[in-house]
Amino acid sequence: MPDLAALRRRRQAIHGWLLLTPTLVMLTTFAFYPTVATVWTSLFSRGTRRRPTEFVGLENYQRLIDDPTFWLVAKNNLIYAGVTIPISIVLALAMALWANSKIPARSFVRTAYFTPTVLPMIAAGNLWLFFYTPGFGVLDQIGALFGAPSVNWLGQPETALWAVCAVTIWKEAGFFMIFYLAALQTIPPDLKEAAQIEGASRWAYTRRIVLPLLMPTTLFILVNAMINSVKLIDHLFILTKGGPSDASKLILYYIWENAFAFFDAPAAAAMTVLVLGVLGALAAFQFFVIDRRTHYR
Amino acid sequence: MSDPAYVALDGVTRQWGGRGGVADVSLDVAEGSFVSVLGPSGCGKSTLLRLISGLETPEAGSIHINGREVTHLQASGRGLSMVFQSYALFPHLSVRENILFGMRVRRVPRNARDEKLAEAVAMLGLEGLEGRKPAALSGGQRQRVALARAVVSGHPLCLMDEPLSNLDAKLRHSVRRDIKGLQRRLGLTVIYVTHDQTEAMSLSDQVVLMRDGRVEQVGSPRALYADPVSTFAAEFIGDPPMAIIEGAALGVSGALIGLRPEHLALAPSGQGDLTGVVREVEYMGAETHLIVDHPAARGLILSVPGHAAWQPGQEISLTLPKEHRVLFDAQTGKAKKDPQQDYGGDRRQTAPRDSRKALQSHPSTD
């Protein structure tokens, strides 16, 4: 009876789709549709009262490429990512290795490292504003003790971006440490003892056993750090607003400015599409290339 | 043993807040011998092994290996290898890299490494598996890799911490034979921790029976079987273990009488030394175990060849041949060769043993 078999297959298919529906609805509403809408918007001109919106093809992208601010912002973001990602990961790893060893007041150390993560980014921004403020900020006061001149960390183009980077690293390292700490605790202590008996030094054990076993975690953190280097800009609103003279402006902040300060939605959409493309390519590289060289238990 | 001790422990103590661990253990292990450290869980046998390996440092006492004082030496400096219950293989490294790990970190030249690897792989039948990760191996293969890792280190002393406990019964036998074969072929000195008395008996030259962090008895498997120093030793060794009967039931006051099950014999109804009730009948194939209840005895198990037609609840008469009886002091549980002998000066006192249920041969000592 072929009909019965076909019926059963169809019922199974309907079942499967029903199970997928909730996820599909959520993803469509919050991911797929906005993506498509953004691409669509980026292909139209900015509508004014006199000139209605019209299809302009890639003109918005052309405008972006000709915009020197866009390139400056892209460069800033590259520096921002290049500085914050490796430093926060290395710091997180070092803190996790330390907080995982037998030290006094271990839980206090862990809590202290994790505290910045609990703070909202805006609060962290305000806190650091107090550190950086010239004259009576904490950094300047400490500097004054040693006779250093007052520095306006956020107010000059040479230091503004670095000051912003420092806040991000401070905020992220503790968060990543938690992942490393969790991963370290899944490594059985037997391995350390076996390595000890084989004559491996602490460094050899860390390099040959611990770091490779932490690779899946590192990969996960890397993806997160990369996303954050584009996403985490809340403190810019408090600290610099992208200034002075765009020295600390990052892509997402510029997109926000275009969309909600200059009311140029098509330009913002075009930039968003570019960012999406770059992030997508990076994620693909991580998962297809680095993933294959990683050991998963 | 007349040989100088290869591993010598003298009054070694390591406890945690005065509890657990080992207390005042002295032990000599001859070179090239296979010594088992046997005991119930929590008796300190693993602590003892970790003290010898250097993963743990004693609070008191000294440890010598090959005539050298190593009490405060790091594990890597003691010239020994270790096999763990959990195998402790590095999960991200292949079999080859696992075996060669130690040589790598010790910077052994490549050709020497390859030679040793080939030798160890052939010895343990791991050919063709060199490229695999531990996750792709069976339990027995993993433990063989761990053994190969111990073999290539070239150290004459190998410590094993319950290496067979994570294997199923069948594999346990084959890996057990591998271990014994390796030890004999390479002339290794092996100190082997186990809670399984069958393993200890079948593998070792010497068995160290531990209880509550102290050494209860040291001797050859035969000595432990034939001459247990206490009721604890008597009931821990042997499968089924020694039966213990209150002396009063047999006309000997103030003593406990031990008898190996193979010496128990059936008697015509009412004419034996003891008359008990069959509680359980366990058919094993070649023989049948009759578990017998008697108010004055524990661990009475009679082995009858083939299939036996006994039923639980039946009365059964047993003969306990005089020449095979082992006498223990009723108060201390210590063996006495002669009922008149005075054992008051015994330095290792054990608490008087309360009467336990029959068959409970693994008293928890935690």
Q: Cβ separation of B84 and A194 shorter than 8 Å?
A: yes
CB B233 within 8 A of CB B216: yes
Residues comprising chain A, all counted: 297
Cα distance between residue B185 and residue B278, in whole Å: 48
Phi, psi torsion values for B324, nearest 5 degrees: -100, 0
Which chain A residues are within 8 Å of B104, Cβ to Cβ?
Answer: 208
Tokens representing residue B30 in the block: 């001859």
Cα distance between residue A205 and residue A207, in whole Å: 6
CB B3 within 8 A of CB B30: yes
Q: Cβ separation of A200 and B149 shorter than 8 Å?
A: no
* Sheet-wide strand order for B297-305: B265-267, B315-319, B274-283, B287-294, B297-305, B243-246, B255-259, B326-329, B335-336
For A201, the closest chain B residue by CA position comes to: B105
Q: Does any CB of chain A come closer than 8 Å to the CB of residue B49?
A: no
pLDDT of B170 higher than 80: yes
Cα distance between residue B229 and residue B227, in whole Å: 6
For A189, the closest chain B residue by CA position comes to: B88
Interface of B with A in 274-333 (CB under 8 A): none
Cα distance between residue A254 and residue A74, in whole Å: 10
Domain ranges for chain A? 70-293
CA angle B189, B192, B194 (to 5 degrees): 170
- Superfamily of domain B243-336, CATH level 4: Nucleic acid-binding proteins (2.40.50.140)
Which chain B residues are within 8 Å of A213, Cβ to Cβ?
Answer: 91-92
Domain with CATH 2.40.50.140 in chain B: 243-336
What interface predicted TM-score (ipTM) does this complex get?
0.77
Nearest-CA distance B350 → chain A (Å): 35
Strands B326-329 and B315-319 turn out to be: unpaired
Nearest-CA distance B177 → chain A (Å): 23
Sheet strands (E) in B49-188: 60-65, 68-69, 80-83, 157-161
Q: Cβ separation of B105 and A208 shorter than 8 Å?
A: yes
Q: Does any CB of chain A come closer than 8 Å to the CB of residue B135?
A: yes
Architecture of domain A70-293: Orthogonal Bundle (1.10)
| Short-list B326, B363, B338, CA closest to B232 | B363
Q: Cβ separation of A199 and B105 shorter than 8 Å?
A: yes
Task: Name the residue facing A194 among B88, B133, B135 (closest C-beta).
Answer: B88
Nearest-CA distance B171 → chain A (Å): 22
DSSP H helical ranges for A101-210 = 106-118, 121-132, 138-145, 157-185, 189-197, 202-205
Which of B90, B133, B149 best probes binding to A when mutated, by most A CB atoms within 10 angstroms?
Answer: B90
Q: Cβ separation of B80 and A199 shorter than 8 Å?
A: no
Q: Cβ separation of A197 and B92 shorter than 8 Å?
A: no
CB pairs under 8 A between A and B: 66
Nearest-CA distance B78 → chain A (Å): 9
For A202, the closest chain B residue by CA position comes to: B105
Cα distance between residue A270 and residue A59, in whole Å: 10
Q: Cβ separation of B75 and A295 shorter than 8 Å?
A: no
Cα distance between residue B271 and residue A170, in whole Å: 88
pLDDT of B86 higher than 60: yes
Q: Per residue of chain A (297 residues), what is the pLDDT tens digit?
A: 568 888 999 999 999 999 999 999 999 999 899 999 999 888 888 877 788 778 888 888 888 888 889 999 999 999 999 999 999 999 999 989 888 887 888 888 888 888 888 888 888 888 888 888 887 888 888 888 887 777 788 888 888 889 889 999 998 898 999 999 999 999 998 899 999 888 888 888 999 999 999 988 998 898 889 888 888 888 888 888 877 888 888 989 999 998 898 888 888 999 999 999 988 888 888 778 777 766 665
- Superfamily of domain B5-226, CATH level 4: P-loop containing nucleotide triphosphate hydrolases (3.40.50.300)
pTM above 0.80, yes or no: no
Q: Does any CB of chain A come closer than 8 Å to the CB of residue B56?
A: no
**Inter-CA distances, A157 with A154, A240, B93, Å:** 8, 10, 49
Strand partners, B209: B38, B217
pLDDT score for A2: 66
DSSP string, B12-74: EEEEETTEEEEEEEEEEEETT-EEEEE-STTSSHHHHHHHHHTSS--SEEEEEETTEE-TT--
Name the residue type at position A156. Answer: Q
Cα distance between residue A18 and residue A24, in whole Å: 10
Which of A191, A197, A211 best probes binding to B when mutated, by most B CB atoms within 10 angstroms?
Answer: A197
